[in-house]
Amino acid sequence: MPTSSILEPPPTASHVAPHAPLDRYYGEEAKRHRYVVDLFNQSAPHYNTIEKMFFNIGLWYRGFSLKRAGLRPGMRVLDVAMGTGAVARNAARLVGPSGRVFGVDPSIGMIREAQKVFAGPVTRGIAGHLPFRGDQFDFLTMGIALRHVADLGETFREYFRVLKPGGTVWILEAHVPPKGLGHWFTKMMWGRVIPGMTLLATRSQPAKLLMDYYWDTIDQAASRETVMDTLMAAGFERPTYRMAHPVCEFVARKPSPSS
Ligand SMILES: C[S@@+](CC[C@H](N)C(=O)[O-])C[C@H]1O[C@@H](n2cnc3c(N)ncnc32)[C@H](O)[C@@H]1O
């Protein structure tokens, strides 16, 4: 049974921030979403270069993790924050011709990149207000994007709404150990090495800024316990997490009448 973090108050039905404020980037909270989408729009042509710097291990890992979480042929999937399609293209392969994968993302630049590798339906939208009717999907996925939503509670309630009873939510998120050598090493990699390599490989200041911003949001992200507690508060049952440094996977189910 997950426990609430002693560092953060337990989530309530109201606002649960995905990370501590980072005003030095976007000024004030009201400007955060626009700032993030602009940054993704400007960095979109370089996003896959960054993935390739790591030999596309992340792309392979997403497919491996989705299969392990129960994604099967024939399922109807919603990939939220699809970005350049790293999760959606893996999901499409796993559900096969009898299944269907829908993508949603607020960044037109990222959607354009996704459409080079993903042929399914794509809609512009945000996690907290999904443009879909309820009880539609067997599986809902979100890869490395939870830190960008406005409110974890609102987001998970939306995920619960659009999933069919018995449906699965799968969330892959970056993770940094809170202290010790693991923290120091992750900080060195995400905070220094990756932004530096990104600038060298892409010559793009926005792409480097995106990586700087990544590190700060990862460092300041809501705790694993907060994510687990907020999933349960939204109605999900049996949430689990699995660490695979430098990422953490959350999987939970919407109760079905028989459960
Ligand atoms: C790091 S990319 C992740 C892309 C892909 N899911 C992956 O696994 O590589 C983050 C994506 O989140 C999207 N995003 C930002 N704010 C969002 C929000 N409030 N709701 C949904 N997606 C959002 C961005 O446009 C961007 O495409």
HEC profile for 191-242? HHHHHHHHHHHHCCHHHHHHHHHHHHHHHCECCHHHHHHHHHHCCCEEEEEE
Of 72-76, 99-103, 142-146, 210-214, the range with the lowest mean pLDDT is 210-214
Ligand 1 pocket, 88 CB below 6 A?
no
231-258 pLDDT, tens digit per residue, is 999 999 989 999 887 889 999 999 998 7
Nearest ligand 1 atom to alpha carbon 172: 8
Tell me the percentage of the chain whose pLDDT exceeds 90. Answer: 77
| 112's tokens | 């354009």
Tell me the percentage of the chain whose pLDDT exceeds 70. Answer: 95
Asked if pLDDT for residue 4 goes beyond 50, the answer is no
Q: What is the rounded average pLDDT for all residues in the chain?
A: 91
Q: How far apart are CA 58 and CA 174, in angstroms?
A: 11
Report strand pairing: 122-124 vs 100-105.
Answer: parallel
Backbone angles phi, psi at 126, to 5 degrees: -120, 160
Helix (H) or strand (E) holding 185: helix 180-188
Asked if pLDDT for residue 14 goes beyond 80, the answer is no
Asked if pLDDT for residue 10 goes beyond 60, the answer is no
Asked if pLDDT for residue 181 goes beyond 50, the answer is yes
Q: How far apart are CA 164 and CA 152, in angstroms?
A: 20
Place of tokens 């430098």: 246
Cis peptide, bond prior to residue 195, ω within 30 of zero: no
**Gyration radius of the chain's alpha carbons:** 17
Asked if pLDDT for residue 50 goes beyond 90, the answer is no
Q: Which domains does the chain have, with CATH numbers?
A: 36-179+207-253 (3.40.50.150)
**DSSP class of 189:** I
Output the pTM of the full model.
0.92
In 3-state terms, what secondary structure has residue 253? strand
185-207 pLDDT, tens digit per residue, is 988 988 899 899 999 999 999 99
Distance (angstroms) between ligand 1 centre and the Cα of 208 equals 17
Distance (angstroms) between ligand 1 centre and the Cα of 106 equals 8
